[in-house]
Amino acid sequence: MKKISFLLLLLSQPAFGDSPRIWLDINWFSWHSDDTYVDNGVVKEFNENNPGMFARYEIKRNLDIGAGMFKHSYGEWTPAFGFEIHTRRDRGLSIGAIVGYAPGYKETPANTILFVLPVAQAQLPGSPTIGLRAGYMPFGEVKFGTVQVTFGF
């Protein structure tokens, strides 16, 4: 109950600046430093077509909470949710990191459910509500990147 109360308190706090409070991210694709991976002795290709959708809510100027679903690099769908800590978006470019939970990776060679994904978001010139997001995972044996289109409301 304390966790729910804390989350409601965070959600009730105002955001700052002129940037949108709600963002809808459309997952697009990913790329990997290696084309293949080994799963139980079988060589397989990474899935680089990663459709999906996330909704993010700006709790504070530098903190979002979000949830969504996407098809991950091993070819299965997974829900995901987490927090994003980032620089201010009202300047057109922000950088940050997502700390999240994606249970669909548990039964994959990645064998994890937690992740940290460094991200950058750039708004289109003259439009604070449309942008591109890119993430890059520098940790682990295989490095990968992601690309999303994002819309603010």
* pLDDT tens digit at each of 153 positions of the chain: 554 444 433 433 444 455 578 999 999 899 999 999 998 899 999 999 999 999 999 999 899 999 999 999 999 999 999 999 999 877 788 999 999 999 998 888 888 888 889 999 998 877 778 999 999 988 777 889 999 999 988
Please give the torsion angle defined by the CA atoms of residues 29, 101, 4 and 68, in that order, rounded to the nearest 10 degrees: 20
Residue 86's pLDDT is: 94
N-to-C CA span, the chain: 30
pTM: 0.78
For 4, the enclosing helix (H) or strand (E) is helix 2-12
Encoded tokens for 35: 């084309």
